[in-house]
């Protein structure tokens, strides 16, 4: 609802970048809203991942209708056979919206009805997404333009107005740092940020992720923290959207339980949130799962929030989710099939 409202209020441009966009009830609402703004002269650009949106090879009218109204739409790393071809790695898993340079969105939510809990298979969908205003939006704007320039072979940096920070009344005072990473960089920025935050924990670390397949450094850091007395809590879904990935996740959960961490499976639907918080002082919310694919093979973006007020709000949400979860004890883990 907030995104649709902000689209409705757009004056100059709307930039959307998603891993998945589905022809769906919410997808149609957003499509119609974008067409309406395009008719009003607002510049609309959409960047989608060609593998994440493989369904559009069979439902091309969804994008074509928007193109008829001068909405620019580009695929990221096109793949001739999206679900069979050799380009399943190096996918753009980012979710970014930038509106007029002063409102930005990022987090776990793609465009599809399942993200609103409307899919019978998954039921209630538990996710975390951020709406950001202020100077941090410029970092999201730059990230979108870098991705767009690569995919569309344009240079939007020539359009200075895309990076101006508008004057407006500030409602929040939370420092936000936008961090992106991908296989085009030798530095695993999001991975290293996670690692640094885990090492800095003195009281507790809370993690929510649909996929928990860490590399050795992250796994060791979490084990060391737990054995050192830090309250490490990890929450994963109770049901798989990808069965093999789920059982891999569950195997690492077993290692964390053995190290003394508190691990939970979320029972109230599907958990898709990608959050990490430390000591009630700093938190990451974004697109990166706690897995090797997100650390090295996908293009991802996270927002790191340095705000006791907002981080504690996120941690209260985590603690509320615990009331709808089952703790994985050693006994439960050893009784798995």
The catalytic residue positions are: 93, 95, 100, 272, 274, 279
Cα angle 97, 239, 213 (rounded to 5 degrees) comes to: 70
**What does 266-321 look like in DSSP terms, one character per residue?**
E-SSEE---EEEETTTEEEEES--EEHIIIIISBEEEEEEE-HHHHHHHHHHHHHH
SS3 state of residue 326: strand
SS (H, E, C) 60-125: CHHHHHHHCCCCEEEEECCCCCCCCCCCCCCCECCCEEEECCCEEEEECCCECHHHHCCCCCCCCE
Distance CA 142, CA 76 (A): 16
- The residues, ordered by sequence, that sit 6+ positions from 153 with a Cβ below 8 Å of its Cβ are none
Q: CB neighbours (10 Å) of residue 40?
A: 9
Q: What residues contact residue 88 under an 8 Å CB cut-off, 6+ apart?
A: 51, 79
CA neighbor of 214 nearest in space, from 183, 237, 248, 182: 248
Are 309 and 281 spatial neighbours (Cβ–Cβ below 8 Å)?
no
Burial readout 85-101 (b: 16 or more C-beta within 10 A, e: otherwise): eeeeebbbbbbbbbbbb
Q: How far apart are CA 337 and CA 334, in angstroms?
A: 9
């Amino acid at each position: 609802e907030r995104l649709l409202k902000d689209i409705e209020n757009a004056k100059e441009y709307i930039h959307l970048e998603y891993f998945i966009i589905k022809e769906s009830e919410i997808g149609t609402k957003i499509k119609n809203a974008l067409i309406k703004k395009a008719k009003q002269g607002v510049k609309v650009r959409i960047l989608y991942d060609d593998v994440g949106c493989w369904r559009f090879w069979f439902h091309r009218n969804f994008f074509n209708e928007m193109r008829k109204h001068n909405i620019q739409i580009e695929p990221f790393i096109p793949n001739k056979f999206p679900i069979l071809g050799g380009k399943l790695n190096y996918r753009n898993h980012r979710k970014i919206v930038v509106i007029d340079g002063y409102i930005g969105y990022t987090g776990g939510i793609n465009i599809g009805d399942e993200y609103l809990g409307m899919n019978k298979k998954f039921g209630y969908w538990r996710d975390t997404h951020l709406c950001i205003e202020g100077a941090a939006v410029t970092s999201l704007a730059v990230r979108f333009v870098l991705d767009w320039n690569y995919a569309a072979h344009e240079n939007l940096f020539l359009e200075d107005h895309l990076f101006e920070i508008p004057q407006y009344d500030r409602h929040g005072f939370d420092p936000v740092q936008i961090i992106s990473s991908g296989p085009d960089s030798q530095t695993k920025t999001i991975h290293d940020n996670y690692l640094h935050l885990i090492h800095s924990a003195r009281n507790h670390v809370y993690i929510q992720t649909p996929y928990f397949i860490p590399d050795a450094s992250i796994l060791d850091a979490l084990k060391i923290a737990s054995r050192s007395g830090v309250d490490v809590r990890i929450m994963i879904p109770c049901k798989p959207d990808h069965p093999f990935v789920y059982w891999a996740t569950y195997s690492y959960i077993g290692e964390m339980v053995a190290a003394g961490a508190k691990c939970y499976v979320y029972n109230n639907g599907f958990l898709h949130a990608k959050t990490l918080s430390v000591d009630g002082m700093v938190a990451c919310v974004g697109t990166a799962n706690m897995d090797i694919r997100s650390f090295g093979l996908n293009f991802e973006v996270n927002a790191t929030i340095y705000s006791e007020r907002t981080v504690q709000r996120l941690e209260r949400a985590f603690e509320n989710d615990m009331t709808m979860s089952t703790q994985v004890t050693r006994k439960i883990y050893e009784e798995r099939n």
